Amino acid sequence: MSWVTDSWMRLRSLLSQHDREGQIDDELSLHVEMLVRDLEARGVDPATARREANRRFGDVRVIRKELYSMENKRVDHERRATYFDELWQDLRYGTRQLLRNPMFTAIVIGTLAVGVGANTAVFSVFKGVFLDPLPYAQPDRLTYIWHGSTEGECCGPLSGPDFLDLRRMTETFEDIAVLSSRNTNITGDGDPVVVLGANITPTMFSVLGVQPVRGRSFTEDDELEDGHVVVLSDGLWHQRLGADPDIIGSAIELNRETYTVVGVLPPGFNVPSPWRINQMHDVYFPFAREDIDQGRSSHWLLAIGRLEPHVTLETGDAELKSLSKSLADQYPETNLTKTTYVHSMHDRLVGRAGTQLILLLSAAGFMLLIVCGNVASLLLTRATARQTEMAIRSAVGAGRTRIIRQLLTESMLLSLLGGVAGIALTFWAMTFLRASIPADLPRVANIGIDGAVLGFALGISILTGLVFGLAPALSASRTNLTESLKEGKGTPQSASRRNLLRGALVAAQFALALILANGAALMVQSYLEFRGRQQGFDPGNVLTVNVALQGERYDDAFARDDFLRQTIERIAAIPGVLAVGATSKLPLRGGTNGQVWIEDDPERLHDGQGPLVEFSRVSADYFDAMGIRLMAGRYLTADDTAAASPGTIINEVMANELWPDENPVGKRYSFRTDPPNWMTVVGVVQDVRQWGPYSRARAEHYLPYTAPGWASGYRMYLIVKTELDPLSLVAAVRQAVLTVDKDQPISEIRTMEGVLSDQFAGQRFNTMLVGIFAAIALMLVTAGVYGVVSFYVAQSTHEIGVRMALGAGRGRVLQLTILRGLKLAGAGAAIGVGGIFATTQVIRSLLFGASPVDIPTMLGGVAVLLAVAVLASIVPAHRAASVSPVTALRSE
């Protein structure tokens, strides 16, 4: 289309619809009138002439309607074409502008990339962990069903009979199934390995809405007869069994017994247990009915329920509570204070992680806002430089909206380029994040960059483009035409307005940075505080491995004792090993507890409410290997087991709680009341934080694992204190175990340093991310102040010249300029302090108990910001102070 016609079209498009239709009407009616006139001229009488004209013309209404719609369609089309033409123009022009200032462009794109990249990376974690629905059919109907007390204690496993009764009676649940995890040794061909197995009731897979992709699921028959059948995970089938296509019906040796494989599950499928985050169950065994139907007071089954369609969680919870009530009436001796709790599976698995990730996302969002402020400042500065250009544009007829659109197109272009660079940065950041993501963050495997994550990146890019582009565009479009063209630069009013805007932007960045830095500082403090705490043991150079003794061979306690004793002896003989011990549970990892009754307190012996204490089963050398100091009495010896009343070691908390102001050594206590099984305290050791570094130490006692009367020694951790790097001895330790039993695998190979470090992984991850965001924020703010003060100096060269001519010294100029930066920082800090108080509740959950408002930290933050402001102002201030008055005055 030629340019002339093009413009014609465009001009026509500017007419209103009413005018366009008027023109069509005029044209058509003129035609008919001319026809009538010619006919009359030929002597036809007026009435006939009109009738004839109408006949020859055809139906005016139809034609008019057709033309109307043609015109309207054309105008729509033209408008769109114009819009895209202009957009294209703006894009080309914008690209040229960006290429003309490659430095500016690179800085802006780089800054944006950091903001977008950080947010996208955190979002991808948030999405993978929290937003994505759980990979089961209709996951919102899935729940965990817990045993709890009527006093509000919650979340223990169900007992078998309770589960069977609830399942039979419920009307709000489509089905309920239970699971009990257990370590399983794969024996037979190849090295023995430990995998996580689980006993399940036969409907577990259908409750989750998943069926084996090969073979079959369990049936009621499997539950009734001990058929030794298993269903395997896809992972195990691939890794251990080479994806053997004839696996169904073949035999597999587990715990030294032979099982028949009846099914293989789809890839990635797992029955999720909130106690075993990120651990896959690889082998599923069917529960035998009589295994479940035992002991109403023994709670050990993880229950998963699927609600009936359209039944809410609350309804299901209420129904099970009322069913529990009727069970309590029926079995008062066991169920009197029992009730059930129903929790959404999604909440339970990822709710807490989701909350923390939202906070991290907000920290990243704060940083993105600072990025926006920073880029907006840069654009404002550039807008000032481009004032003449804008003036010329508006002089040749560009309207204000047109100029705003052009500037917004430019910032969109920048933000999209920044977004693309940000996505590239995200890919890099993800490898870094993956390496530092805490192992206990749920659903780590589901984290990745997909369409939604890219969409998020695109979305925030566009949003940032609008946010940082709008203020400069509005400001630049408000140009006083004559003044600009005359002076070649802005009017004083527009300049001061722009300076105010720029100052406000920097102050806002300061405020945001202060909140972020304060949060980061608090998190670092809290982290260092917890990390520096005494845990009660010496983690240096300690190797731990788990041995889970399984199968008939170890049903005999003496066989287990034999195994452990021989293994410990062999490991102790390895060169470089200083001490070897064994324990049933590692420090910091939580544990098991029970009530005890003390001998000297007959009253408490009979009220049925003894104090609750933690207990571990240990070997005599455990304390030595773990570096747990003896405070009183002596360590365990082999004789302590043999004695009629076994010797035990207790910790200081237990000593103080049970025997305040007394020497506990030699005192006796029992687990049971009828008949009591007395144990004698032989020593007191320092407290170990059994429930993790964030909890205080609780009362705890250590029993020799060989002490009779308890089924113990099945699952023990070997603790190996070494001279040098503990991991260098793993092979030797494994060999020692295999020498004693060639089918016995070792697992959970860790150093105690690693076990300790894992406890802080979550806090470290959060602290690191917020710290990085805060550091970037401070750098951005420094750049922001530097920019504004430099610009101020450049703008007021004249003023400075006058001041110096009137006798102001260098020092005074320096002072004035730095004061300018300080004012911005001060205003920002004042707002930021308000922000800190406003966000206390938000940050609390990231601090693990530290106070969210810490005045010294806050003042420190303010001081840092003011220092940043001074530093950033020094360079431009020196520039100002070295202005020669003569040059300055002449430059006008």
Partner 1 sequence: MTRLPWLRTRLTCIRGTMPKNTPELLKGTLDLLILKTLESGPMHGYAIARAIEEATEQALQIEEGSLYPALYRMTNRGLLRFEWGLSAANRRIKSYRLTARGRKRLKLETANWGQFTQAVARVLGEQPA
Q: Give residues in contact with partner 1 (CB under 8 A).
A: 1-2, 4-5, 8-9, 23, 26-28, 30-31, 34-35, 56-60, 62-63, 66-67, 70-71, 74
660 contact partners, CB below 8 Å, separation of at least 6: none
Shortest CB 84 distance to partner 1, Å? 18
- Interatomic CA distance for residues 645 and 681, integer angstroms: 10
Name the token pair of 581: 């011990």
Shortest CB 839 distance to partner 1, Å? 60
- Interatomic CA distance for residues 441 and 764, integer angstroms: 12
Is residue 283 within 8 A of residue 254, CB to CB? The reply is yes
- Interatomic CA distance for residues 344 and 324, integer angstroms: 19
Name the token pair of 807: 């006798």
Q: By C-beta, is 34 or 392 nearer to partner 1?
A: 34
Q: By C-beta, is 66 or 257 nearer to partner 1?
A: 66
Number of helices followed by number of strands (H, E) in the chain: 32, 23
Q: By C-beta, is 57 or 848 nearer to partner 1?
A: 57
Shortest CB 119 distance to partner 1, Å? 47
- Interatomic CA distance for residues 180 and 199, integer angstroms: 5
Q: In a 3-state reduction of DSSP, which class is residue 190?
A: coil
Q: By C-beta, is 2 or 16 nearer to partner 1?
A: 2
Is residue 560 within 8 A of residue 725, CB to CB? The reply is no
Is residue 813 within 8 A of residue 803, CB to CB? The reply is yes
Count of CA atoms in the C-beta half-sphere (13 A) of 84? 5
Shortest CB 38 distance to partner 1, Å? 8
Shortest CB 36 distance to partner 1, Å? 11
Q: By C-beta, is 1 or 47 nearer to partner 1?
A: 1
| Angle at which helices 492-532 and 352-385 cross, to 10° | 150
Q: In a 3-state reduction of DSSP, which class is residue 383?
A: helix
524 contact partners, CB below 8 Å, separation of at least 6: 767, 771
Is residue 422 within 8 A of residue 116, CB to CB? The reply is yes
Q: By C-beta, is 38 or 171 nearer to partner 1?
A: 38
Shortest CB 73 distance to partner 1, Å? 9
Q: Which amino acid is at 619?
A: S
- Interatomic CA distance for residues 121 and 105, integer angstroms: 23
Shortest CB 40 distance to partner 1, Å? 14
Shortest CB 72 distance to partner 1, Å? 12
- Interatomic CA distance for residues 794 and 796, integer angstroms: 6
Is residue 389 within 8 A of residue 423, CB to CB? The reply is no
Q: By C-beta, is 30 or 445 nearer to partner 1?
A: 30
Q: By C-beta, is 31 or 812 nearer to partner 1?
A: 31
Q: By C-beta, is 4 or 644 nearer to partner 1?
A: 4
- Interatomic CA distance for residues 622 and 720, integer angstroms: 9
Is residue 659 within 8 A of residue 611, CB to CB? The reply is no
DSSP code at position 248? T
Name the token pair of 871: 């530093």
Q: By C-beta, is 25 or 599 nearer to partner 1?
A: 25
Q: By C-beta, is 66 or 225 nearer to partner 1?
A: 66
> Within a 10 A sphere around the Cβ of 441, how many other Cβ atoms?
20
Q: By C-beta, is 2 or 401 nearer to partner 1?
A: 2
Q: By C-beta, is 16 or 401 nearer to partner 1?
A: 16
Shortest CB 12 distance to partner 1, Å? 9
Shortest CB 57 distance to partner 1, Å? 5
- Interatomic CA distance for residues 311 and 472, integer angstroms: 53
Nearest CA-CA partner of 182 in 274, 284, 266: 284
Q: Judge residue 711's burial from the number of C-beta atoms within 10 Å of its C-beta, 0-12 exposed, 13-18 middle, 19 or more buried.
A: exposed
Q: By C-beta, is 30 or 463 nearer to partner 1?
A: 30
- Interatomic CA distance for residues 509 and 503, integer angstroms: 10
- Interatomic CA distance for residues 625 and 580, integer angstroms: 5
From residue 860, give the alpha-carbon distance in Å to each of 518, 854, 855, 892: 8, 10, 8, 43
Sign, CA torsion 313/314/318/319 = negative
Question: DSSP letters along 316-356, please?
Answer: HHHHHHHHHHHHHHH-HHHHTTEEEEEEEHHIIIIIHHHHH
Q: By C-beta, is 64 or 715 nearer to partner 1?
A: 64
Residues in the chain: 892
Shortest CB 83 distance to partner 1, Å? 18
> Within a 10 A sphere around the Cβ of 861, how many other Cβ atoms?
27
Shortest CB 14 distance to partner 1, Å? 15
Q: By C-beta, is 8 or 83 nearer to partner 1?
A: 8
Name the token pair of 730: 């793993």
Shortest CB 29 distance to partner 1, Å? 10
Shortest CB 87 distance to partner 1, Å? 22
Shortest CB 5 distance to partner 1, Å? 5
Is residue 334 within 8 A of residue 296, CB to CB? The reply is yes
Q: By C-beta, is 6 or 799 nearer to partner 1?
A: 6
Name the token pair of 107: 């800085």
Shortest CB 462 distance to partner 1, Å? 35
Shortest CB 89 distance to partner 1, Å? 21
Nearest CA-CA partner of 93 in 378, 398, 380: 398
Is residue 338 within 8 A of residue 147, CB to CB? The reply is yes
Q: By C-beta, is 53 or 545 nearer to partner 1?
A: 53
- Interatomic CA distance for residues 864 and 793, integer angstroms: 23
